């Protein structure tokens, strides 16, 4: 069966520090991968998605970036965090074909102080 992992689960970082969040998927190959951000009490904002290694589509201009160095690994990064980067970050995957049901990871709660 497929499993999606995210780490860390929680993170507290000072403004201006770098960020690296990792997401890995097991039990499937060539998934589409997604990063979402959810501000407190708000809906899901799509940040990036990837349909293959090295292929990244960005939805929102910001100081975040994403990379996909391996088929089942998706990384969200920042060189300098802003206060507004605080939120709940979710990784998700879908199959590359079919009806694109999304499966979400447990999320990382990021607090920037």
Partner 1 sequence: DAKTTQPNSMESNEEEPVHLPCNHSTISGTDYIHWYRQLPSQGPEYVIHGLTSNVNNRMASLAIAEDRKSSTLILHRATLRDAAVYYCMWRQPNNNDMRFGAGTRLTVKP
Footprint of partner 1 (CB under 8 A): 32, 34, 36, 42-44, 46, 49, 51, 57, 59, 88, 90, 92, 94, 99-107, 109
**Alpha carbon separation from 69 to 39, 53, 58, 64 (Å, rounded):** 27, 6, 16, 16
Nearer to partner 1, 34 or 74 (CB): 34
**Of the two residues 15 and 39, which places its CB atom closer to partner 1 in the complex?**
39
Is cis: bond before 86, omega within 30 of 0? no
Indicate the residue among 60 and 82 with the shorter CB distance to partner 1.
60
Q: Are 75 and 23 in contact (CB under 8 A)?
A: yes
């Amino acid at each position: 069966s497929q499993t999606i992992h995210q780490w860390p689960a929680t993170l507290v970082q000072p403004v201006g520090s770098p960020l690296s969040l990792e997401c890995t998927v097991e039990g499937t190959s060539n998934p589409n991968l997604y990063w979402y951000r959810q501000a407190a009490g708000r809906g899901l904002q799509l940040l990036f998605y990837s349909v293959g290694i090295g292929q990244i589509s960005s939805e929102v201009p910001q100081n975040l970036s994403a990379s996909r160095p391996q088929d089942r690994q998706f990384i969200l990064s920042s060189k300098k965090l802003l206060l507004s980067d605080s939120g709940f970050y979710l990784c998700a995957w879908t199959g590359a074909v079919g009806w694109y049901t999304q499966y979400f990871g447990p999320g990382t709660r990021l607090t920037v102080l």
